[in-house]
Amino acid sequence: LDEKTCVPLPVTAAFLHNRVPDLNALSSEAIVQALTNFGHLDQKTGMLLQDPTKSDWRDVLSHACGNGKNGIEGVSKHGRGNDTGNRSDCLQNQPLGPGKSPLAKALHRAWAFHE
């Protein structure tokens, strides 16, 4: 184990925006907010509290991104306002399936888990 380069990292909007292709800054902020609201990220440090290979983060984001009242308040299809969008608004059509998700790979990296 490389203890210098394989260390846990905070999940911030900037971290996701830089690591997940085609994920814009507003969606990155909404994802961080949802993960925090549902207990997956520490509110102060942004560190993952649950192993993303074993947690229900996919369900959380599918649910939160599908309804602005369930974790991502005020995020619309344009990333602002109070109307609700659909699942693709926050996730920007990101695949969530195992082995196909750049978002999953980013969360694995933040947890310091490499396949």
Tens-digit pLDDT profile for residues 18-43: 999 999 999 999 999 999 999 999 99
Instruction: Please give the pLDDT value at position 61.
Output: 93
Assigned token pair, 25: 């800054």
Candidates 73, 88, 85; CA nearest to 29 is: 73
Instruction: Please give the pLDDT value at position 89.
Output: 74
Please give the angle made by the CA atoms of 95, 20 and 14, to the nearest 5 degrees. 135
Q: Is residue 98 scored above 60 in pLDDT? A: yes
- The Cα 23–Cα 106 span in angstroms is 12
The type of residue at 17 is H
Binning pLDDT at 50, 70 and 90, where does residue 92 land? Answer: confident
- The Cα 111–Cα 36 span in angstroms is 15
Binning pLDDT at 50, 70 and 90, where does residue 114 land? Answer: low
